[in-house]
Structure 1
Amino acid sequence: MPTSILRDSSTSLYEQIAHRLLEEIQRGDFEPSGKLPSEAELGQRFGVSRVTVRLAVGKLSDDGVVERKQGKGTFVAAKQVRHGLDALRSFHEALLLQGLKPSMHVISHTEQAMPEGLRELFDGAERCLLLERLHYVDEEPIALGRSHLPAALATVVWAEVEHQPIYSVLEHVTGQPVTRADLAIRAQEADKALATALNVKRGAALLVMERTSYFANGHCCDRTTFYIRPERYAFVLSGVFKN
């Protein structure tokens, strides 16, 4: 059914359409796929040209409400994931706590010589396991994790524990829980391999989180570098400030 808009209003047609679509998005009318009707369908619905529709959708895109996916259409923008820095949580757990349905996929796992720059960190260990996993939210890649882990984890059948956080696997294999982690955050451009894995353009800006984790005895058990799509992720730190 056509949807009426005010032709003699001081508010432009495209702004009225953008406001109407925003109300419908907030109401959940386009769930579960999140896909909006095509420009042609919206033009017919509101009785306006495709140019007017394009302006309305453009406004929603500029406001971060929708995102255009080339060759697929326009979708309600995914909610941004917030990673708290004030608690010890695995990357996967941080996603679960927000009511999301994350998944992980093991790309590779190889026992290899410990990189020279990490040997001292791992108390002189000569061997390690290099594990690469892709993290997904809503079936879209959100981060690639590259982990250097104790060589003891090379015996793990990763296909069987693919969806378990590294911290859980570490505790299961060693009997020791992870008790501390240091985080460092920086930015980096996506090279060809990262761009392909994360479905972004080569040279796109990525958030990089470097995590170094320790057992209670002070021994390092994990050095993981996460390469994260920044439009889907934010780091937050909560604190109490006193006058």
Structure 2
Amino acid sequence: MRSAKRRPPPSTGGQLPVPKQPGTARYRQVAEDLIARVSRSELVPGQRLAPEAQLAQQYGINRLTMRRALEELARTGVVRTEHGVGSFIAVPATRHRIDDGEASLSESMARRGIAVRHRVLAVTKIDPGADTPFPDFAGATVEFRFVRYLEEEPWSIGEVLLPASLAPLDWDGNTSVFAPISARHGLTVKRAERAFSAGPANPDEAGWLDVPVGSALLELRGFNTDQHGRVIATVAHHIRGDRAEYVVRLPQ
């Protein structure tokens, strides 16, 4: 579970209700008004909105219309909803350079002063059979599944597959899973390939990442090599679409 944090007080309303605009759905008007209030810093990241019924009354609409506006804002990453707690203005996306020379996002973020930790969900030993992704390493493989937190907010669910001979079975999540590999085996871990796609959050992912089921996730897959060019890890991450922005610098 995430550690408790001090939250800003709930929003008290502002200039409401907004006038009706012909040709624009009422829920979309309300959503656009809330977005405008965020841009004016009337609502700030982490701030809890007033309860749904209170917001509906303030805007002069019914609760179903208000709920649809909040669902639209959650879908686009402006609002984050915690069931049983309320709706909050979402924290802005974290910008990440995938060509910054670091082997892991954890090291990259930590170098920028962003607190990173991992909650280890499972460590599973797998017999790869003939289709091993690690032809230079004999034997079984080990899969680590974990939730990554940035500044104590859930950011991604990851799976990293490693040769059993390299896998740090005592990994506690306070560093990246690659840090003990480098320290113990004298290997320089390098990003070798990354592919990106998008998909909806399933119920399990939504629960761990504190997002509604069906929310947009950025799916990253790839592999890492060592300084000798040997494949030593495959990676797969499902990242909150409202929290992530990946950047690569093109050659001049």
Contact 1:142–1:198 (CA<8 Å) still a contact in 2?
A: yes
Partner of 2:131: helix, strand, or coil? helix
Answering whether residue 139 of structure 2 is matched by residue 157 of structure 1, we say no
Identical pairs, percent: 23
Contact 2:125–2:142 (CA<8 Å) still a contact in 1?
A: yes
Partner of 1:221: helix, strand, or coil? strand
Rounded to whole Å, the distance in 2 between the matches of 1:213 and 1:175 is 15
1:118 to 132, 135, 138: 132
Aligned to 2:238: 227
Aligned to 1:211: 222
- Decide whether aligned partners of structure 1 residues 65 and 2 sit closer, same or farther in structure 2, where only a CA change above 3 A counts: closer
Partner of 1:158: helix, strand, or coil? coil
2:196 to 185, 192, 204: 185
Cα distance per residue 1:15-65 (max 9 Å; x no partner): 89x76985577548756x421333566689x7x64659949x769938754
2:47 to 34, 48, 53: 34
Rounded to whole Å, the distance in 1 between the matches of 2:202 and 2:34 is 40
Rounded to whole Å, the distance in 1 between the matches of 2:120 and 2:236 is 15
Partner of 2:242: helix, strand, or coil? helix
Rounded to whole Å, the distance in 2 between the matches of 1:6 and 1:203 is 30
Contact 2:92–2:242 (CA<8 Å) still a contact in 1?
A: no
The structure where helix makes up a greater share of residues is 1
The CA RMSD over aligned residues, in Å, is 4.3
Rounded to whole Å, the distance in 2 between the matches of 1:191 and 1:113 is 27
Contact 2:82–2:210 (CA<8 Å) still a contact in 1?
A: no
Aligned to 1:93: 107
5+ long unaligned stretches in structure 1: none
Structure 1 length-normalised TM: 0.70
Partner of 2:192: helix, strand, or coil? strand
Contact 1:25–1:76 (CA<8 Å) still a contact in 2?
A: no
Partner of 2:183: helix, strand, or coil? helix
Cα distance per residue 1:54-95 (max 9 Å; x no partner): 49x769938754344444323112211222232233122344
Contact 2:218–2:239 (CA<8 Å) still a contact in 1?
A: yes
Partner of 1:227: helix, strand, or coil? strand
Contact 1:209–1:227 (CA<8 Å) still a contact in 2?
A: yes
Structure 2 length-normalised TM: 0.68
Amino acid at match of 1:129: V
5+ long unaligned stretches in structure 2: 1-11, 22-26
Answering whether residue 250 of structure 2 is matched by residue 239 of structure 1, we say yes
Quick check: which has more Rg, 1 or 2? 1
Rounded to whole Å, the distance in 2 between the matches of 1:180 and 1:63 is 30
Contact 1:110–1:154 (CA<8 Å) still a contact in 2?
A: no
Amino acid at match of 2:217: L
Amino acid at match of 1:109: V
Rounded to whole Å, the distance in 2 between the matches of 1:80 and 1:196 is 19
